[in-house]
Every structure is written in C-alpha cells, then in structure tokens.
Amino acid sequence: MSAQSLAKPVVARGKSLLISAALKLALKTRSIGALGVREIGREAGLNPNTFYRHFSSLEDLGLSILNEVIASWRQPLRDIRRKAAEAAAAQIPPPAVSTDYWAVCLKKAKLVAALTIEGYFDFVLKNPEAFLIGVSEMSGSSSKLRHRLQEAIEELASDLAEDIRIYQLLPMLSDAALKDMSSVIIRQIFMLSTDYIDAPEKREEMRKMAVDLMINLVAGAIALEVSDRETMLSLAEILRSEV
C-alpha cells in the first residue's frame, strides 16, 4: 500500500472532524460565517493551520457542510413519504368505480400530508444543527451558500413532486402545477423548522399549521387546474373535511 493511499483516510478524518466541529459551534451562532478558523480547529482537536489543507475558506467549508447535509436528507425524507403513503393505502380502500378515483387519491393525499409532517418534524428534532444553519444561511451574507440552498429547495421539491406521482396522490394536477406547488411547500415547511426547534410549547400548533398550509396549497392548485365546477366542489368538500 502506498503512502498516498494511507494518507487518504487521515485526510478524510480531518475533514470530517472539522465539519462536525463547525456544525456543533454553528448550533450556537446559527451562522457558519460567524465562526473562526482557530475556533473550529480547537473544537475539532486539530491544529488550526490544518483547516486550509481541507478548505480554501469558511465559505468553502459551508458549501461542504451543506452538500453533506442535503445529501443526508433526501432519502430519509422520501422514506417518510413512502411510509405515509403505505399507511394511507392501508387505511383508505380503492375506488369502487372509476369516477371516484380522484376523490380517493385526494383523501390519501390528505392523510399522507398529515403523516409526512409528523415524520418530517421528528426528523428535524433529530438533526437540529443542520436545520438551524440551513434556515439561517437562506438569508446569510454568502451568495454561494444562498444559491446552494436554493438549489437544495428545488432538489427536495423535485423529490416531492416525483413521490406524489409515484403514489398517485394528486393525479388531477399537471406536471407544471405539481412542480410549482411542491417548491412552495418545501420552502415554507423548511422555514418553519427553526420555530419548531425553538418553541416546544407550540409544536402541536405548528404541525397543524403546516398540514393546513399544505392542504390550502393543494386546494389552490386544484382550483386552477380543474375546470368542471361540480368536480371542483366535490374535491373542495374532501379538502374541508377532517383528516
């Protein structure tokens, strides 16, 4: 084994330690840019000078953190939706006639929304530092970090739209409408994450608010897509009913 191959695990470990240290420290400051290189090095148990072996700047560190965090979010969030869709399918029987298809899909969509929100916020509480930093950097001073987070919102929205299609939850929506709606849902729910972490006494209220937000966005999208008045009124009645 060459010296170069032996060095790779050491380099990877050093980078990982710096990322973990920055996440821990940023939990207090809620900003990667507010941290210092020496501070991060001390927290990581490394010589501060080793920082620049792995990152060219704090912004570069921030991008590495965001890339790792975003990559670690996507599949767990999709798993939450998959489990919610499976639970909804088990509870809501298939349509007896073809004309009931949209109604049954919408009932499933409402239940999936409620179960997904519950699972999402549980995931937030297990990863508070990542969400606190992510939401903070959405309005931070680094244009590169803001841009990466905007990309992440669209990636997560694309996942959501694809899952809605896979589980046949909103077949009445066009691809364009579904994409726009998914983008707004992801952005708004993501921004609620910090409040959910900071205010335990309001968590039940915020979960309900998040579900209501999703239902209202679905209602708006359907209203723009479904032209038949009788069908629209029937679907609206389902949306107004309790989950």
Q: Are residues 130 and 233 in the same domain?
A: yes
pLDDT digits (tens, 9 = 90+) for 46-66: 988 889 999 999 999 999 988
Predicted local confidence at residue 122, as pLDDT: 96
Residues 64 and 30 placed together within one structural domain of the fold: no
| Range of the structural domain that residue 131 is part of | 59-240
Q: Which of 29, 54, 79 is at the close of a domain?
A: 54
**pLDDT value at position 28?**
81
Query: How many domains is the chain partitioned into structurally?
Result: 2
Same domain, 94 and 15: no
pLDDT on residue 133: 87
Tell me: do 146 and 229 sit in the same domain: yes
pLDDT at 187: 96
Tell which of 32, 54, 76 closes a domain.
54
Give me 222's structure tokens.
């359907």
What is the pLDDT of the chain when averaged over all its residues?
Answer: 90
pLDDT of residue 137: 87
Query: Do residues 156 and 79 both lie within one domain?
Result: yes
In this prediction, residue 10 has a pLDDT band, given cuts at 50, 70 and 90, of very low
- Encode pLDDT of 83-96 as tens digits: 999 999 999 999 88
**CATH assignment of the domain containing 146:** 1.10.357.10
In the structure encoding, which two tokens stand for residue 97, read together?
């006639």
What whole-number percentage of the chain has pLDDT above 70? Answer: 95
Q: Give percent of the chain above pLDDT 90.
A: 70
Phi, psi of 119, deg, nearest 5: -65, -35
Instruction: Tell me which range, 55-69, 155-169, 228-242, is most confidently predicted by mean pLDDT.
Output: 155-169
The residue that leads in pLDDT, 13 or 182, is: 182
What is the sign of the dihedral through the CA atoms of 7, 9, 12 and 14? negative
Q: How many CB atoms lie within 10 A of CB 122?
A: 10
Same domain for 19 and 133, yes or no, is no
